[in-house]
Amino acid sequence: MDWDAQAAVFDDEPDHGLRDPRVRAAWA
């Protein structure tokens, strides 16, 4: 996988979730 190519959209995947403030807070 080309992570540089995926970087812009990776967090849009529902199971990655880092665009969701609740999920971000859990990881912070």
Q: Which residues contact 12 (CB under 8 A, 6 or more apart)?
A: 19
Q: Token pair of 11, please? A: 């967090």
- Confidence at residue 2, expressed as pLDDT on a 0 to 100 scale: 87
pLDDT tens digits for 1-28?
Answer: 788 888 888 777 766 666 778 877 887 7
Alpha carbon of residue 8 to chain centroid: 9
Q: Which residues contact 27 (CB under 8 A, 6 or more apart)?
A: 18
Domain that holds residue 27: 1-28
DSSP for residue 17: -
- Confidence at residue 4, expressed as pLDDT on a 0 to 100 scale: 86
Tell me the whole-structure pTM to 2 decimals. Answer: 0.36
Q: Please report, as a single letter, which amino acid is at residue 22.
A: R
DSSP for residue 13: S
Number of compact structural domains in the chain: 1
